[in-house]
Amino acid sequence: MPQLLAVVNQKGGVGKTTTTVNLAAYLATFGKKILLVDIDPQSNASVGLGVDRTQISRCLYDVLIDGVPAQEVIIKSSIANLDVLPSTPRLAGAEVELISLEPRETRLKLALAPVQDNYEIILFDCPPSLSLLTVNALTSADEVIIPIQCEYYALEGISQLTHTLELVRESLNPQLKIRGIVLTMYDPRTLLSAQVAEEARKYFGAKVFNSIIPRNVRLAEAPSFGQPIIFYDPGSKGAQAYENLCREVLDDGNS
Ligand code: ATP
Ligand code: MG
């Protein structure tokens, strides 16, 4: 049975995609068979892994809305062991179309069922909303990873997110757990970063991963080369932090 992990936070720009892409790349490089499912119409994760959007004819939209088998849409990335179920901006249409399709919250789960045993870990990169696309990810997932940006208003919206997790547990996915909180874009020179880290630890306790992701320009540059940090600049501070996070995720899961 694979582990299904959704990287989620409805707040925009907190490091969801950077975390998903780099975790996926490290996990794959450590020999795990990985599927990254890009659930965001912005398709940043697909692009960050070097997928050429102009070359994709079909994406998650076709799987969710038209019932195209996931197997026919999944592509290999340039990294061994790492496959991608890509998104394109067309996926934005699914947000609306899902509303009138039954079952609307479990379509992703049903679509992944035939392929999921090909993988050890499946990662979902969620959009910055608590829309039906995100609910589909939460319904499919075993656990969530929540990135929190070490900036002003970092914890704003967290209670809404935890409430959504509760609702999903009550109605659709009772087993859903929080795997961990990742502090991102940490700047050790600022008091603010330290304060956010402290607040997050107060709120989430031991759920906060020990690995903290620093603000690191190499992490921000890597996507424009279609490369995860492990290939773009493996010696950078950002790379070391994501490698450590990856080890922590593997340890927690005993896999
Ligand atoms: P969205 O909500 O739009 O999907 P997101 O939560 O996926 O955003 P990212 O796209 O991962 O967030 O990051 C937002 C921006 O910050 C990007 O330009 C990214 O390259 C940059 N970034 C992410 N993490 C870091 C970091 N640790 N250091 C520096 N820049 C970062
Ligand atoms: Mg994103």
E strand or H helix that includes residue 226: none
**Residue ID of nearest Cα to ligand 1 atom 20:** 220
- Mean pLDDT, rounded, of the chain: 95
Cα–Cα distance measured from residue 144 to residue 15, given in angstroms and rounded to the nearest whole number: 14
pLDDT beyond 90 at 252: no
Domains and CATH numbers, the chain: 3-254 (3.40.50.300)
Cα–Cα distance measured from residue 249 to residue 243, given in angstroms and rounded to the nearest whole number: 10
Cα–Cα distance measured from residue 197 to residue 201, given in angstroms and rounded to the nearest whole number: 6
Cβ contact 5:145 at 8 Å: yes
**Does the Cβ of 44 fall within 6 Å of ligand 1?**
yes
Q: How confident is the model at residue 254 (pLDDT cuts 50, 70, 90)?
A: low
Range 32-50 average pLDDT: 96
Segment 222-245, tens digit of pLDDT: 999 999 999 999 999 999 999 999
Q: How confident is the model at residue 253 (pLDDT cuts 50, 70, 90)?
A: low
pLDDT beyond 90 at 52: no
What are 199's two structure tokens? 């607040």
Segment 169-193, tens digit of pLDDT: 999 999 999 999 999 999 999 999 9
pLDDT given for residue 154 in this prediction: 85
Q: Which are the contacts of 3, defined by CB distance < 8 A and separation ≥ 6?
A: 120, 121, 122, 142, 143, 253, 255
Q: Give me the amino acid identity at 78.
A: S
pLDDT beyond 70 at 78: yes
CA 206 to chain centre: 21
**In ligand 1, which atom is closest to the CA atom of 241?**
27
Give the Å distance between the CA of 49 and the centre of ligand 2: 13
**Residue ID of nearest Cα to ligand 1 atom 8:** 13
Percentage of residues in the chain having pLDDT higher than 70:
99
Range 75-98 average pLDDT: 95
- The answer for 5, left when phi > 0, alpha when psi is -120 to 50, beta otherwise, is beta
pLDDT beyond 60 at 255: no
Query: Lowest-confidence range among 53-57, 73-77, 243-247?
Result: 53-57
**Does the Cβ of 165 fall within 6 Å of ligand 1?**
no
